[in-house]
A and B are shown apart, each in its own frame.
Chain A
Amino acid sequence: MVSQILFIVITLAAIALFSYNLKKVIRNIRLGRAANRSDQPQKRMMTMLKVAFGQTKMFFRPIPAFLHLIVYAGFVIINIEVLEIMIDGIFGTHRIFGGLGTLYNILIGSFEFLALGVWLACAIFLIRRNVLKLKRFSGVEMKSWPRSDANYILITEILLMTAFLTMNAADAKLQAMGLGHYTAAGAFPVSQFLQNLLPDTAAGLIAIERGCWWFHIIGIFAFLNYLPYSKHFHIIFAFPNTYFSNLEPKGEFTNMESVTNEVKAMLDPSFTPPEAAPGRFGAKDVNDLTWVNLMNAYTCTECGRCTSVCPANITGKLLSPRKIMMDTRDRMEEVGKNGLEDGKSLIDTYITREEIWACTSCNACTQACPINIDPLSIITELRRYAVMEESQSPASINTMLGNIENNGAPWKYSPSDRFNWAKES
């Protein structure tokens, strides 16, 4: 009875804490400007199913995709096991689904294989990060926290899977002893090999079984509450992020409506623009970006696929699309805590001018992102701010803009010479 009450208290506390942190995240995302992403619901749903649920874009790199798929499948399917743990925890039962018989054996058996798969995949991931030191996992933006964040997650998953398998091994031994509470249920194709490592006394086995059971479920709760502080948030946000992702051609940039009204008024004096609150052109800080940009930042799992294909980054320039997303998230967290008036801004304090001017807008980053994050639109908004609000662009860009304005071409040629190509050789 005591353990049931304790379990319920821990569960409620974990859920309450998670809701509290999730609310803070949603509040931060709401710092952003409006953006309409409610069109074409069917196409959006298909995109989400394909990209997030089906992980189609992951397979551009088959090895990590395969390992990730195991971890992902493990995560999704083992939730059925977590459901049983929850029910057992609340009602003090043991393996409540055990009555399913053969089906239960198949379920538990497959969970065991998955758990082993997840264990191995995470071990390989750890080796890739820390021993093989893949280039993709380094870079100026990969400072101490982002590095350890990834390691903490992988180690936690390994520990959780170890606990799950050890628990099953102890349970199977207890079942074989015919102890009252431990009714025979489940098949243990993997954990049977751990049985010899465990003690033979009932008391020792019960201690291990209960210990692992509690460790497993508290671990899961702790993991849940770790998410809002971690890149691992993508396990939740990947779904809304792909649903609300850009469906237009990648080459298409938004036409700023406030500018359209002003330009129309300039070209046609009879046009009266609709009343609108004066807004900023482009983005100086996170509140000038859209909520989609900000949700993107919380979704980013820092895998670095964007940066590894970025032509500017490949050739040694300062720009890293991954850093753009991480900076946006860091700044958003800061603004969420301290407000906007702290003398800092996304541009300059976090993202330098050199970075934004190195972008070729080639869309390699948006193509590479497995969950449709769009760093390019943030870069564009920062450029818009630099150019339209501050008139600060590289000198040669200014010349180009001046030429377009005066000659209708980015180069200094006379408009009257525009058709000369047809006449000369």
Chain B
Amino acid sequence: MRLSGEELEVLSILEENHRIPVQDIALMVNSSVEDVSAIIKKLEDEKIIVSYPALIDWSKVAGEENIVAMIDVKVTPKRGVGFDEVAERIYRFPEVTSLYLMSGAYDLSITIEGKTMSEIARFVSEKLSTIDNVISTTTHFMLKKYKHDGVIFGENNDRDRRMVVSP
């Protein structure tokens, strides 16, 4: 779908920060609140805006740290439905946070999150590996998140180092 310049502008503002009030977005793009609301609704209806998740660094919250694993999966595609059917079976598990079909050495890349190692191990051995089309799995545990979805995690190195007033 081809978008207008204004629609693209609204999209990129929301991508940067979806908490900016519609009134302020309207000022930023020189438009009316009604028009911007209509644009946002259209983008949501068209599933161009898929969701508005908060990006949370759970590793900073005591007792809430998650274990994240990325699993490379080789599967046998099924006649007629290719990889889609097996992908659907996998992404329906709530512990799966992302799933991509890949080119190269393996077919599916899965990211899962769990509270403990054993939770992850159980998912791999009991749920994932037992699916008929799954040939093999290779599990990588994520040790530290530096950057995710374009956002840098950890210490804030982007603090404003400028003087308060300058020419």
- Is chain B found bound to chain A in the same assembly? no
- Residue positions of A touching B, CB distance < 8 A: none
